[in-house]
Structure 1
Amino acid sequence: MTSSVNRNAEAIRKYGLFIDGKEVPTDRLMECMNPFTGEPWAMVADAEEADVDRAVAAARSAFDEGPWHSLTATQRGALLRRLGDIIKRDAEELARIESTDNGKLYRETFGQWQYIAEHFYYFAGMADKLQGDVVASDRPNFFIYTRREPLGVVAAITPWNSPGLLLTYKLAPGLAAGCTFVVKPSEHASVSTIELGKRIKEAGFPDGVYNVITGQGRIGAALVKHPGIDKVAFTGATETGKAIAASAAQNLTRVSLELGGKSPNVVFADADLDVAANGAIAGIFGASGQTCMAGSRLLVEESVHDALLEKIVALSRKIRLGDPISSDTEMGPMANVPQFNKVLEYLDVAARDGAVVASGGAADSENGGLFIEPTILTNVTNDMRIAREEVFGPILSVIKFRNEAEAIALANDTRFGLAAAVWTQNIHRGHRVAHQLRAGTVWINAYRVVSFAAPFGGYKESGIGRENGLDGIREYTETKSVYVEMTGEPRDPFKLG
Structure 2
Amino acid sequence: MRQHDTLFIGGEWVAPAGTGTIDVISPHTEEIVGRVPDGTTEDMERAVAAAREAFDHGPWPRMTFAERAEVIARLAAIYNERQSEMAQLITEEMGSPITFSNLAQAPQPLGMLQFYAELGRTFEQEEQRPGLFGPITVRREPVGVVAAVVPWNVPQFVTMTKVAPALLAGCTIVLKPAPETPLDAYLLAEWAAEAGVPAGVLNIVVAGREVGEHLVAHKGVDKVAFTGSTAAGRRIAAVCGEQLKRVSLELGGKSAAIILDDADLAASMGFLSMASLMNNGQACVAQTRILASRNRYDEVVDAIAAMVGAQPVGDPADPATGIGPLVAKRQQERVEGYIKLGMDEGAKIVVGGLDRPYDRGWYVAPTVFAGVSNDMRIAREEIFGPVLAVIPYEDEADAVRIANDSDYGLAGTVWTADAEHGMEVARQVRTGTYGVNCFMLETNAPFGGYKASGIGRELGPEGLNSYLEYKTIARLG
Q: Structure 1 residue 315: deviation in Å?
A: 2.0
Q: Distance in 1 between matches of 2:186 and 2:358?
A: 34
1:170-319 superposed matches below 5 A: 170-319=162-311
1:260-409 superposed matches below 5 A: 260-366=252-358, 368-409=360-401
Native 8 Å contact 2:8 2:205 kept in 1: yes
1:142-181 superposed matches below 5 A: 142-181=134-173
Unaligned runs of 5+ in 1: 1-10, 487-497
Q: Distance in 2 between matches of 1:428 and 1:89?
A: 40
Aligned match of 1:7: none
Q: Distance in 1 between matches of 2:289 and 2:91?
A: 27
Q: Distance in 2 between matches of 1:183 and 1:418?
A: 24
Aligned match of 2:6: 16
Unaligned runs of 5+ in 2: none
Native 8 Å contact 1:344 1:363 kept in 2: no
Q: Distance in 2 between matches of 1:264 and 1:358?
A: 19
SS of aligned partner of 1:296 = strand
Picking from 118, 121, 125, the partner of 2:118 is 125
Q: Distance in 2 between matches of 1:428 and 1:101?
A: 42
Identity of aligned pairs, percent? 37
Native 8 Å contact 1:58 1:208 kept in 2: yes
Q: Distance in 1 between matches of 2:167 and 2:4?
A: 28
Native 8 Å contact 2:253 2:284 kept in 1: yes
Q: Distance in 2 between matches of 1:363 and 1:166?
A: 32
Q: Structure 1 residue 45: deviation in Å?
A: 1.2
Picking from 136, 144, 149, the partner of 2:130 is 136
Q: Distance in 2 between matches of 1:197 and 1:363?
A: 41
Q: Does 1:465 align with 2:459?
A: no
SS of aligned partner of 2:354 = coil
Deviations for 1:368-414, whole angstroms, at most 9, x for unmatched residues? 32111110000100000000000000000000111011001000000
Structure 1, 122-131 or 330-339: larger mean CA deviation: 122-131
Native 8 Å contact 2:112 2:443 kept in 1: yes
Picking from 108, 116, 119, the partner of 1:115 is 108
Native 8 Å contact 2:419 2:436 kept in 1: no
Native 8 Å contact 2:29 2:360 kept in 1: no
Q: Distance in 1 between matches of 2:39 and 2:230?
A: 25
Picking from 425, 437, 446, the partner of 1:455 is 446
Q: Does 1:484 align with 2:450?
A: no
Say what the alpha-carbon RMSD is for the aligned residues: 1.3
SS of aligned partner of 1:332 = coil
Q: Structure 1 residue 12: deviation in Å?
A: 4.6
Deviations for 1:447-482, whole angstroms, at most 9, x for unmatched residues? 2x1111010000000000000001100111000001
The letter of the residue matching 2:372 is: V
Q: Distance in 1 between matches of 2:71 and 2:6?
A: 25
**Under a length normalisation based on structure 1, what TM-score does the superposition of the two structures give?**
0.93
Native 8 Å contact 1:83 1:117 kept in 2: no
Q: Structure 1 residue 232: deviation in Å?
A: 0.5
Structure 1, 92-101 or 344-353: larger mean CA deviation: 92-101
Deviations for 1:90-133, whole angstroms, at most 9, x for unmatched residues? 11211111111101012222233133222111101212433343
Q: Does 1:431 align with 2:423?
A: yes
The letter of the residue matching 2:282 is: Q
Native 8 Å contact 2:91 2:316 kept in 1: yes
Q: Does 1:102 align with 2:94?
A: yes
Native 8 Å contact 1:130 1:148 kept in 2: no
SS of aligned partner of 2:166 = helix
Q: Structure 1 residue 247: deviation in Å?
A: 1.0
Deviations for 1:203-252, whole angstroms, at most 9, x for unmatched residues? 01111010011111011100000001111001110010000110112221
Picking from 16, 39, 59, the partner of 1:47 is 39
Q: Distance in 2 between matches of 1:95 and 1:431?
A: 34
Structure 1, 306-315 or 354-363: larger mean CA deviation: 306-315
Aligned match of 1:93: 85
- Change in CA separation of 1:347 and 1:261 when aligned onto 2, cut-off 3 Å: same
Native 8 Å contact 2:66 2:122 kept in 1: no
Native 8 Å contact 1:320 1:330 kept in 2: yes
Aligned match of 1:69: 61
Q: Distance in 2 between matches of 1:415 and 1:214?
A: 31
Native 8 Å contact 1:16 1:23 kept in 2: yes
Q: Distance in 2 between matches of 1:171 and 1:381?
A: 40
Q: Distance in 1 between matches of 2:84 and 2:421?
A: 42
Q: Structure 1 residue 433: deviation in Å?
A: 1.0
The letter of the residue matching 1:143 is: P
